[in-house]
Amino acid sequence: MTGFPDGFDIDGLPTRVLFGTGRRAEVAAEVARLGRSALLVTGRSQAAFVAELEQALGGGHAGTLDGAVEHVPVPLAERARAVARETGADVLVAVGGGSSVGLAKAIALTGGQPVVAVPTTYSGSEMTPIWGTSEGGRKTTGRDERVRPRVVLYDPELTLDLPAATSAASGMNAVAHCVEALWLAPANPLVGALAEEGLRELAAALPVLRRSPRDVAVRGGALRGAWLAGTVLAAAGTGLHHKICHVLGGLGLPHAQVHAAVLPAVTAFLADAAPGAVARIRRSLGVADAAEGLWQLAADAGAPTSLADLGLAPEQVDEAADLVAQAGPAAPRRVTADDVRSILGTALAGRP
């Protein structure tokens, strides 16, 4: 990989980060630092670790909410907030991917509980103050410091059983955070350096994981890339690419997979307007063409490369394009509804 130490701690930033093999054993201690009892918020893919954590928390385990799903539907968020109130938990522990972290954020947005995140995918959401909910075919997002996790514990061993398809799509989600940060914050040297390093880590790890999914060192590289990706997402914010993905998510398409299919098309569209960002993407990937290189990375990782394969119908393109354009997403050039239609047409075809 790229010379990072195997484990490290970071304090003094908005989020305390504990990274390394076995760090999951420190969750109970982190909960005790922040409060008296924790509500575990999770999906259903980490049942064994959740059971261990319930035991480790002992009397500090207020309850477990295991119904996290993609895009955080508003009715689910409301039920989760009610459960948090009923249990009296003063800390939330999110175990899983972006869905679990997103549901914990939805609770914290109104309840104010500190969040401890234990990511098991590469979404990067755990490092950001960005929240999102969905209702009626629309996804609403926002930024609020109340939802930014106070502590994130990254343990590569928790990702060893992540399915290949999930690893690929989630990893390309993180790649998108790095890429968009490069054209949203071109004058920020810290964001640029972290984005390039995150992109290099992910590009090195994702194709290898397709062949060697239980390689702890490679899993660690992917998690480091995801950590950096989430960090730059928090700093740079979201723009055209993420807005397209959020709109498509509101229409029912799977979030991480959409990132993989859309990113090359958005990169091709913005290439002339963001030559510096394109040069950094090429350098990080070691390719001659940024958009083509991102498409090839998704293909090599085993991620989707076409919106048609994800279920977007041609007749939905106009609706999606209008919603994106109306939102006025940040981009290094003006973006019209016709531009978004062109991007979606390219992503439907599956090659930039």
Task: Give per-residue pLDDT as tens, 260-290.
Answer: 999 999 999 999 999 999 999 999 999 999 9
Residue 318 confidence (pLDDT) above 80: yes
In angstroms, rounded to a whole number, what is the distance separating the alpha carbons of residues 95 and 76? 17
Q: What are the residues whose beta carbons fall under 8 Å from the beta carbon of 53, sequence distance 6 or more?
A: 24, 27, 28, 40, 61, 93, 95
Is 8 a residue whose pLDDT tops 70? no
Contact 5, 210 (CB under 8 A): no
Residue 152: its H or E element: strand 151-154
Q: Is 241:153 a contact under the CB 8 Å cutoff?
A: no
Strands 130-135 and 61-65: unpaired
In tens, the pLDDT along 139-183 reads: 898 999 999 999 999 999 999 999 999 999 999 999 999 999 999
Largest CA distance in the chain: 58
Tens-digit pLDDT profile for residues 239-253: 999 999 999 998 999
Q: Of 128, 276, 245, 173, give the one whose Cα is nearest residue 284.
A: 276
Closest CA to 192 of 201, 183, 203, 200: 183
Give me the mean pLDDT over the 107-121 stretch. Answer: 97
Please report the pLDDT score of residue 244 as a whole number: 97
Using DSSP's 3-state secondary structure scheme, residue 26 falls into: helix
Which of 156, 80, 166, 144 has its CA nearest to residue 119? 156
Q: What is the pLDDT of residue 89?
A: 97
- Which is more confident, 29 or 1? 29
Cα separation, 155 vs 27, whole angstroms: 11
What sign results for the dihedral spanned by CA atoms 223, 226, 231, 232?
A: positive
Average pLDDT, the chain: 94
The closest alpha carbon to 152, from 68, 236, 226, belongs to: 226
Distance between CA atoms of residues 241 and 273, nearest Å: 14
Identify the DSSP state of 349.
H
| Domains, the chain, ordered by start | 8-159 (3.40.50.1970), 164-349 (1.20.1090.10)
